[in-house]
């Protein structure tokens, strides 16, 4: 007679051979993307969500938590421009200086890795710790946008933004996918078009994007996209903000940032756009506090890209730190102190004045992952 897997699992983990509390807490690889359960006799185990539901239905235990990812081992990934890339030739030295300063700021606080091609690697040797450097041919620096989106789970969306020529987006995305496969990393996959810069996650069950996701996926209705995203990202609430006027990317990660799972910082916009943004957030989310943060809108352009200088909420948020961009502006210190007053994590400033004029800032230039993927990236 065949024994159903969930019954076999319950006997294995909840019966004579149950695992100890310490094992369940310490064995990261087993418990990635699982839920913890406690049996009637007090034993702990981590199982898949579907198995957990079946065990609860049969009265063999209770769920202690929702699906979890291993945050003990996470990594911040950056990409350096190639010395052979013509597109960044005029601003190459500024980007290299930014990369060096940012890596050195993050190092020792969070795990950080810099992807750089063989021809450019020598510019970082002796400037940043050797264990940070990884030789790679990922083609572009804005890794947040074409990297996987990380929530409770990890999803690789289709990278075909309307602000790039198709040949350029395919070239960039292919270089990332080649690296991803070579490192034996894993994620869900979706044919929805969505940039990583257009998804801001609160760490639990809420996410923010803009209406650009509807425009980029016309074959689906808005309700279909909403259902697909909630299932893929494993969230229950999503806000679809109106796009900022003049922002050709349509991204949300310069508009809002979570400092806590229930506290959201939002740019202090002028009316009527302010009311439109706040109304969408209030209608979409339950039990959150919204705090408006001043920003300094710049009018300069680099090529066709509007400046991101003055946008403080394009910050990198990790488990214990919030890396906030500063721009050499008068209000930098005021904003740092204001953000810190609304965060339990430590705020750390990063000078982004060398890169922000290109249309992006600290979050745009970083990508994060955790669990098994992080462990594989950190292997030399």
If you write DSSP's letter for every residue of 17-69 in order, what string do you get? TPPPHHHHHH-HHHHTTBEEEEETTS-EEEE-HHHHHHHHHTTSEEE-SS-B-
Domains of the chain: 5-63 (no CATH), 74-378 (3.75.10.10)
What is the reported pTM? 0.82
Closest CA to 379 of 143, 120, 131: 131
Kindly give the confidence (pLDDT) of every residue in the chain, 380 residues in length, as a single tens digit, with 9 standing for 90 and above: 444 444 444 444 444 333 333 333 334 444 555 666 666 555 556 666 667 776 777 777 776 544 434 445 899 999 999 999 999 999 999 999 999 999 999 999 999 999 999 999 999 999 999 999 999 999 999 999 999 999 999 999 999 999 999 999 999 999 999 999 999 999 999 999 999 999 999 999 999 999 999 999 999 999 999 999 999 999 999 999 999 999 999 999 999 999 999 999 999 999 999 999 999 999 999 999 999 999 998 889 999 999 999 999 999 999 999 999 999 999 999 999 999 999 999 999 999 999 999 999 999 999 999 999 999 999 97
> What order of strands is seen across the sheet that includes strand 346-351?
316-317, 321-326, 346-351
Asked if 111 and 76 touch (Cβ cutoff 8 Å), the reply is yes
Q: Which residue has the tokens 């400033």?
A: 349
Q: Where do runs of H (alpha helix) occur along the chain?
A: 5-14, 21-26, 28-31, 49-57, 92-106, 143-146, 166-182, 212-216, 222-233, 273-284, 332-341, 371-378
Output the CA torsion sign for 360, 363, 369, 374: positive
CA angle 265, 269, 274 (to 5 degrees): 90
CA–CA separation, 16 vs 24, rounded Å? 16
Q: How many residues does this entry show for the chain?
A: 380
């Amino acid at each position: 007679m065949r024994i159903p897997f969930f019954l076999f699992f319950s006997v294995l983990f909840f019966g004579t051979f149950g695992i100890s509390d310490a094992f369940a807490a310490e064995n990261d690889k087993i418990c990635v993307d699982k839920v913890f359960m406690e049996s009637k006799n007090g034993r702990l185990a981590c199982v898949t969500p579907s198995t957990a539901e079946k065990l609860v239905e049969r009265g063999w235990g209770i769920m202690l938590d929702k699906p979890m990812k291993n945050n003990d081992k996470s990594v911040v990934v950056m990409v350096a421009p190639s010395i052979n890339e013509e597109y960044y030739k005029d601003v190459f030295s500024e980007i290299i200086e930014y990369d060096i300063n940012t890596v050195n700021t993050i190092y020792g606080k969070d795990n950080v890795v810099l992807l750089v091609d063989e021809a450019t690697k020598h510019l970082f040797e002796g400037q940043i710790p050797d264990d940070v450097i990884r030789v790679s041919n990922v083609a572009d620096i804005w890794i947040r946008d074409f990297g996987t989106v990380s929530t409770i789970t990890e999803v690789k969306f289709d990278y075909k933004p309307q602000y790039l020529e198709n040949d350029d987006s395919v070239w960039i995305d292919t270089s990332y996918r080649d690296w991803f496969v070579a490192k034996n990393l894993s994620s869900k996959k979706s044919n929805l078009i969505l940039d990583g810069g257009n998804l801001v996650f609160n760490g639990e069950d809420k996410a923010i994007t803009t209406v650009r996701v509807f425009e980029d996926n016309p074959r689906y209705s808005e309700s279909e996209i909403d259902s697909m995203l909630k299932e893929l990202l494993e969230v229950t609430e999503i806000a679809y903000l109106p796009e900022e006027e003049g922002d050709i990317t349509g991204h949300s990660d310069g508009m809002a940032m979570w400092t806590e799972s229930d506290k959201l910082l939002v740019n202090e916009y002028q009316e009527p756009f302010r009311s439109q943004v706040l109304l969408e957030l209030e209608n979409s989310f339950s039990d959150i506090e919204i705090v408006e943060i001043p920003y300094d809108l710049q009018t300069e352009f680099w090529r066709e890209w509007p400046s991101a200088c003055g946008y403080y909420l394009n910050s990198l948020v990790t488990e214990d730190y919030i890396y906030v961009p500063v721009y050499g502006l008068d209000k930098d210190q005021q904003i740092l102190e204001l953000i810190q007053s609304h965060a339990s994590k430590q705020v750390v400033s990063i000078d982004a004045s060398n890169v922000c004029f290109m249309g992006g800032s600290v979050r745009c230039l970083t990508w994060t992952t955790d669990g098994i993927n992080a462990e594989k990236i950190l292997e030399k």
